[in-house]
Amino acid sequence: MNRRLKLLILVLLFAVLCLSAAIVSFRLASPAGEQPQPEAQPAGNRSAVTLFEGTNGLWGAKNASGRVLIEPTWFYLRTMSDSVLIARRSAGKSAEYGLIRTNGEQLVPFIYHSIVPVAASGSDLWIASFEENGRECVHLYHADGTRWSDTAWDSCSYEDGMLLLETGGNRWLGALNGQHIGWTEWHTAYPVGLHTLTMDFSEAELKRLPSADILTDIGEAAAGYLRYLFITKQHPDKTMLPEESKSEVLMDYRYISCRLVSAKISRIKALETDGLPSYLVQMQVRYQRPTAESSIGDTIDTSMMLTLTRSTTGTLTYSSFTDSQMNAAGGI
């Protein structure tokens, strides 16, 4: 082989190497939405599920031994945990994300614009954004594909170990610790006609209170009862009013002309019962009672006590009600 031929072979080899490097660089530079992220592999066992690209340019998943778990039929895959993957079926700006199991079974519907982990090492929190009734909302998920709660928040932010959630005028602030949120601030307001029922608790109080979902349910149920007393004057829904508690809950005509001024939940106590879970809700309420001389009349400041019981279906029902001022006066 002469010198000129050897030089030609070397030039060709160099050209092949340059072309290969260019192809790799192009693939790495592809949009993030089209490639699974390197950090997608589960922490602690990065070989449990391996994502791979098929010859068709779509993505699938293998287990540690190389057995194909999911054929390459997905436009996007990202590992959420050893058993759950974030998936997208198509390209484009309107593409929606959902969750699937590593056997390909759908776990969460494809309704989200994005599903991303919160920027906290070791946390078990993923933020899923979606649109509801024309507004942007977020759900919070665990890595196993279950929700932290059913609440749809308007916004979610994380900074210096603190998670801030907001919806309308409601605000929750808590310290994120793995699979737990230690709430430090809790402010919610529930509409009661032109007024609101507010719920404000400090960090010390929140440590003794039920979970976030239960607190939200209690606030909504208590506001619904005040709407019955002061706004609609109509009996609560039958699902909220068991037959055995009607006489202790219905206050027909006692507040018929009264006007609500303000209301705040001051205390929530879980009651010890042999049956279904029950909660005592104390509300500080101000309302106006008309008199013969004036349509506005006297202003009453009172403490109302409402007992709520969780039914077998999981909903809260009204069990009993008292108004300290009404009882002291012998009725209205």
Q: Which residues of the chain have pLDDT under 50?
A: 21-47, 330, 332
CA atoms of 115 and 120, how far apart (whole Å): 15
| Res 239: pLDDT | 87
C-alpha to C-alpha distances, 266 to 159, 198, 219, 300, nearest whole angstrom: 30, 9, 11, 17
CA atoms of 251 and 231, how far apart (whole Å): 13
**Burial bucket for residue 51 (CB in 10 Å: 0-12, 13-18, 19+):** buried
Residue 274 in tokens: 């042999």
CA atoms of 322 and 182, how far apart (whole Å): 33
CA atoms of 276 and 126, how far apart (whole Å): 33
pLDDT in tens, 122-143: 678 899 999 888 888 999 999 9
Q: Domains in the chain, please, with CATH?
A: 190-332 (3.10.450.540)
Phi, psi of 20 (to 5 degrees): -65, -45
| Res 26: pLDDT | 36
Percent over 90 (pLDDT), the chain: 40
| Res 292: pLDDT | 64
| Res 211: pLDDT | 81
| Res 224: pLDDT | 95
Phi, psi of 200 (to 5 degrees): -125, 125
pLDDT in tens, 294-305: 666 789 999 999
| Res 243: pLDDT | 85
| Res 51: pLDDT | 92
pTM comes to 0.68
| Res 30: pLDDT | 37
pLDDT in tens, 239-287: 898 888 888 999 888 888 889 999 999 999 999 887 889 999 999 999 9
